[in-house]
């Protein structure tokens, strides 16, 4: 998942988590998604309480690449910086709007790109750290500032005088003689203003502004409640015997988690953000498995962290806002600027995948039930019906029987640092010629964070990357990429990009050993990172990953393919103690097994994507009351003919952060749409010789460096040479008909 961020006038969209993403992403924030707010009175130039010299956000960082001075940033700095940043930007924007000279591209569009520098600095740091290293004080700031930011955004985008200047230029665009990138920037600004409601009447603007403000607050409430529910939902185990099946490292981590919560002598199984939890694959105690699964699925249903009422309020407001803006429903509004363009197109591609996925999942379920029955017969015990909390464990057993291995045999061969340096970095160097040098002289926001400087083959610097791989209670679940500084030649700025994962941290002195899936996630998020790092554009709004969600996941999913490349695997699949290569027989089994379980994996995702789309196609009058949310969810899945009891959606509605606070509203399908592009590109690379510098340079030049300087569908066709084809995706997932 990639969590996008926008600069200047638009950064507050990302800050409010309006239309983002990623998986990731946390999800990507798109330029055009209206956030929430009411431009009651624009911010004034009132002086913030802190003195400029005392607040690290009041001036540009003097560190290399303008890396934020994390060692000088305190919670008390955020709100004064937000207030000053908003006041400064309003003053800058008003100067543009009231300019008596005729509008030109430079004095209006470029001038808007230059506004809000202080606000961008504080927003970048605050919203990144609030997700990855948040505190109670930061959550209070978030609740206070998000509606203010939304009001601030509307005060700009609903300003009639400002829009008149932008629209005048847009109407004259054919006569302006703009270069391609500048023309694209003008198009983006026109779309952003119109989609924000700039053409509405004054009365409707006020209505829209109030909706936006409420949505901003509700999104924050949803995110915070899910974070609390995930933390509070952790399962406490009294007896270590109930943890049978877990590795000693996992048991130690559970003990450490209990100590951190002041539960000495006990064990805590913390929850991940998804429905199915990783430990379900290993726990042999069926009652504990059921407890973990139910703790996961009941998040947000009842208690102080209940989200059902918040869900209904968000859906109601989104539906009403879409209607006010002239759209049939929120899905139609959200998708018109995406690569997919319409709900019908999204529905079509999801069904193309869902049908074979459901069929394969049912075959997998039959095999798993047979394994359960055989085990019970051998043990002379009563068998039981396959339930969702049994799937991971018995699927692993079937896979082990079929392919002759399990994850416990594989993990010793994937040690984190080796995977990073000899795999992720190695592939990037082979493809793009870049090198990575660790910088331990720069401040970080947590001791686990590592910083690397990225350089071209000729030694020219590109930027900095920050890697934050370990899970902690203060970190939001999932994996995502974001930036602290966006590349933009307009400001002479090079990128500072961060990757976040949630790998359980082992006890002190123990190695960090990864599953094959965790290794794949590292490659995935690094694909996002490369997309942001290689950006080579002039304007912040078009920079890096500031592209639609259904395109932003393309480079990340494409980058996953290098994990399976023989040269990369030979580098990283080595035993963490001996350095010996993974036996070829085991490696062959691992690779051969990759399409096993594709029915489950594809179906759980498709269920969530179709659930998202269905929620956002509802008219306001059709949205259920809070106590009917879960029943309506089941009705939606049944109506879509993909409900299958042993395979729950990857996210249930009550903790589906992607769509209620992560910016993927009506856009969770984006991973599948993007994967079509990724697998097509993989086929192109295979046909052209694979892991070569020539191929990498072509992909970098036509995709990774371009941001949104052209529309994504055009960029893809420029690279691939034709329209997308779903066949390589179905083949990659083992879903194609034989």
Mean local confidence (pLDDT), 719-729: 92
Confidence of residue 44 (pLDDT cuts 50, 70, 90): very low
Q: Are 582 and 571 in contact (CB under 8 A)?
A: no
| E strand map for 326-381 | none
Contacts (Cβ under 8 Å, ≥6 apart) of 218: 36, 310, 313, 314, 317
E strand map for 136-253: 235-237
- Give yes or no: residues 93 and 187 share one domain: yes
- Has residue 464 been placed in a domain? no
- Is residue 525 part of the annotated active site? The answer reads yes
Same domain, 67 and 99: yes
User: pLDDT per residue over 175-224, tens digit each?
Assistant: 999 999 999 999 999 999 999 999 999 999 999 999 999 999 999 999 99
pLDDT reading at 32 higher than 70: no
Instruction: Name the nearest CA neighbour of 277 among 610, 661, 650, 603.
Output: 650
Residue 36 has pLDDT above 70, yes or no: no
Q: Rounded to whole angstroms, how far apart are CA atoms 700 and 124? A: 25
SS3 content of the chain, % helix, strand, coil (to 5): 60, 5, 35
Share of the chain above pLDDT 70, in %: 93
Q: pLDDT, tens digit, for every residue of 415-435?
A: 999 999 999 999 999 999 999
Q: Is residue 478 part of a domain?
A: no
Please state at what angle helix 549-559 crosses helix 670-687, rounded to 10 degrees: 40
Going by the DSSP 8-state scheme, the letter that residue 660 receives in this structure is H
Residues 145 and 263 in one domain: no
Work out whether strand 435-438 and strand 450-455 pair parallel, antiparallel, or are unpaired: antiparallel
Closest CA to 212 of 155, 264, 257, 256: 155
Would residue 154 count as lying in a domain? yes
Kindly state whether residue 123 falls inside one of the protein's structural domains.
yes
Q: Report which of residues 248 and 19 the model is more confident about.
A: 248
Structural domains counted in the chain: 2
Q: Predicted confidence band at 285 (pLDDT cuts at 50, 70, 90)?
A: very high
Residue 594's pLDDT is what? 86
pLDDT tens-digit series, residues 165-182? 999 999 999 999 999 999
| Domain enclosing residue 275, as ranges | 233-297
Quickly count: other Cβ atoms within 10 Å of residue 682's Cβ.
22
- Residue 638, Ramachandran bin (φ over 0: left; ψ between -120 and 50: alpha; else beta): alpha
CA dihedral 9, 480, 232, 519 (to 10 degrees): 180
Q: Among 178, 204, 225, where does a domain finish?
A: 225
Q: What is the mean pLDDT of residues 536-546?
A: 97
Residue 169 shares a structural domain with residue 37: yes
Regarding whether 250 and 215 lie in a shared domain, the answer is no
What pLDDT was estimated at residue 473?
A: 85
> Over 70: is that where the pLDDT of 410 sits?
yes
- Residue 116 and residue 98 share a domain: yes
Contact 457, 435 (CB under 8 A): yes
Give the pLDDT of residue 400. 87
| C-alpha distance across the termini of the chain, in Å | 32
| Residue 84 forms part of a structural domain | yes
User: Is 57 in the same domain as 180?
Assistant: yes
Q: Report the pLDDT value the prediction gives residue 437, as an integer from 0 to 100.
A: 98
Predicted confidence at residue 1, as pLDDT, reads 64
> Which tens digit of pLDDT belongs to each residue from 459-489?
999 999 999 999 998 898 889 999 999 999 9
Same domain, 149 and 201: yes
SS3 497: strand
pLDDT over 80 (residue 379): yes
**What was the pLDDT predicted at 662?**
86
Position 6 scores a pLDDT of 35
Last residue of a domain, one of 271, 297, 323: 297
Q: What is the pLDDT of residue 16?
A: 28
| Residues 104 and 245 reside in one and the same domain | no
pLDDT band at 738; cut points 50, 70, 90: low
In this structure, are 187 and 273 located in the same domain?
Answer: no
Q: Mean pLDDT across the chain, nearest whole number?
A: 91
Average pLDDT over residues 37-47: 35
Residue 387's pLDDT band, with cuts at 50, 70 and 90, is very high
Considering the domain boundaries, does residue 630 fall inside one? Answer: no
Contact 122, 85 (CB under 8 A): yes
pLDDT at residue 53 in the model: 53
- Residue 172 belongs to some domain of the structure: yes
The CB-side HSE value for 165 (13 A sphere, CA atoms) comes to: 26
- The torsion angle over the Cα atoms of residues 625, 626, 630 and 632, rounded to 10 degrees, is 10
Q: What is the mean pLDDT of the segment spanning 572-578?
A: 97
pLDDT above 60 for 11: no
Single out the residue in 242, 268, 297 at which a domain terminates: 297
Report whether pLDDT(35) > 50. Answer: no
Q: Which of 88, 281, 525, 633 is catalytic?
A: 525
Same domain for 268 and 180, yes or no, is: no
| pLDDT reported for residue 43 | 36
**What confidence tens digit (pLDDT) does each residue in 435-457 have?**
999 999 999 999 999 999 999 99
Q: What is the mean pLDDT of residues 72-76?
A: 96
Domain co-membership, 38 together with 112: yes
Question: In this structure, is residue 514 part of a structural domain?
Answer: no
């Amino acid at each position: 998942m990639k969590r996008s961020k926008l600069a200047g006038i638009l950064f507050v969209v990302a800050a409010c988590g309006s239309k983002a993403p990623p998986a990731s992403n946390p999800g990507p924030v798109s330029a055009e998604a209206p956030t929430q707010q009411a431009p009651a009175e624009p911010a004034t130039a009132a002086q913030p309480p802190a003195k400029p010299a005392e607040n690290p956000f009041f001036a540009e960082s003097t560190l290399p690449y303008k890396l934020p001075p994390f060692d000088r940033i305190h919670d008390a700095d955020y709100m004064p910086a937000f207030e000053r940043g908003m006041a400064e930007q309003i003053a800058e924007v008003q100067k543009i709007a009231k300019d008596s000279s005729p509008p030109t591209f430079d004095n209006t569009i470029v001038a808007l790109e230059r506004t809000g520098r202080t606000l961008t600095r504080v927003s970048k740091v605050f919203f990144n750290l609030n997700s990855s290293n948040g505190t109670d004080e930061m959550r209070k700031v978030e609740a206070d500032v998000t509606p203010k930011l939304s009001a601030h955004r509307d005060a700009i985008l609903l300003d009639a005088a400002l829009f008149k200047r932008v629209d005048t230029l847009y109407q004259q665009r054919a006569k302006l003689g703009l270069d391609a990138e500048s023309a694209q920037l003008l198009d983006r600004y026109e779309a952003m203003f119109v989609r924000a409601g700039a053409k509405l009447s004054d009365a409707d603007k006020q209505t829209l502004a109030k909706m936006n403000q409420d949505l901003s607050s509700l999104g924050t409430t949803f995110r915070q409640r899910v974070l609390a529910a995930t933390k509070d939902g952790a399962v406490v185990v009294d007896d270590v015997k109930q943890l049978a099946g877990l590795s000693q490292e996992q048991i130690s981590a559970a003990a450490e988690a209990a100590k951190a919560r002041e539960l000495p002598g006990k064990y805590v199984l913390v929850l991940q953000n998804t429905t199915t939890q990783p430990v379900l694959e290993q726990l042999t105690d069926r009652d504990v498995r059921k407890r973990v699964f139910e703790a996961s699925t009941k998040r947000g249903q009842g208690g102080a962290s209940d989200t059902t009422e918040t869900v209904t309020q968000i859906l109601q407001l989104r539906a009403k806002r879409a209607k006010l803006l002239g759209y049939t429903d929120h899905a139609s509004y959200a998708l018109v600027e995406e690569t997919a363009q319409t709900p019908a197109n999204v529905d079509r591609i999801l069904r193309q995948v869902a049908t074979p996925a459901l069929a394969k999942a049912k075959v997998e379920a039959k095999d798993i039930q047979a394994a359960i029955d055989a085990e019970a017969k051998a043990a002379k015990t009563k068998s039981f019906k396959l339930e969702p909390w049994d799937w991971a464990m018995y699927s692993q057993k079937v896979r082990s029987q079929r392919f002759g291995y399990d994850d416990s045999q594989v993990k010793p061969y994937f040690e984190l640092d080796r995977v990073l340096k000899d795999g992720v970095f190695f592939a990037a160097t082979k493809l793009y010629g870049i090198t990575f040098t660790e910088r331990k002289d720069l401040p970080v926001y947590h001791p686990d964070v590592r910083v690397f400087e990225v350089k071209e083959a000729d030694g020219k610097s590109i930027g900095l990357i920050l890697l934050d791989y370990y899970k902690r209670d203060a970190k939001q679940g999932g994996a995502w990429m974001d930036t602290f500084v966006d590349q933009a030649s307009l400001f002479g700025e090079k990128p500072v990009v961060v990757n976040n994962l949630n790998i359980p941290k082992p006890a002190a002195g123990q190695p960090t050993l990864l599953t094959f899936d965790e290794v794949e996630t590292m490659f995935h998020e690094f694909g996002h990172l490369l997309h942001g790092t290689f950006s080579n554009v002039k304007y912040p709004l078009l920079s890096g990953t500031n592209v639609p969600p259904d395109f932003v996941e393309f480079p990340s999913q494409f980058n996953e393919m290098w994990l399976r490349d023989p040269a990369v695997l030979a580098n990283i699949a080595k035993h963490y103690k001996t350095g010996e290569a993974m036996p070829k027989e085991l490696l062959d089994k691992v690779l051969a097994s990759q399409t096993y379980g594709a029915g489950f994996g594809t179906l759980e995702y498709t269920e969530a994507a179709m659930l998202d789309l269905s929620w956002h196609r509802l008219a306001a009058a059709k949205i259920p009351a809070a106590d009917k949310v879960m029943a309506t969810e089941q009705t939606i899945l049944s109506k879509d003919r993909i409900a299958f009891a042993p395979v729950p959606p990857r996210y249930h509605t009550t903790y589906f952060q992607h769509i209620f606070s992560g910016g993927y509203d009506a856009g969770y399908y984006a991973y599948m749409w993007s994967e079509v592009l990724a697998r097509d590109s993989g086929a192109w690379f295979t046909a052209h010789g694979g892991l070569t510098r020539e191929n990498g340079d072509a992909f970098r030049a036509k995709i990774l460096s371009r941001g949104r300087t052209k529309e994504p569908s055009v960029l893809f066709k420029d690279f691939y040479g034709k329209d997308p084809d779903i066949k390589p995706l179905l083949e990659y997932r083992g879903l194609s008909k034989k």
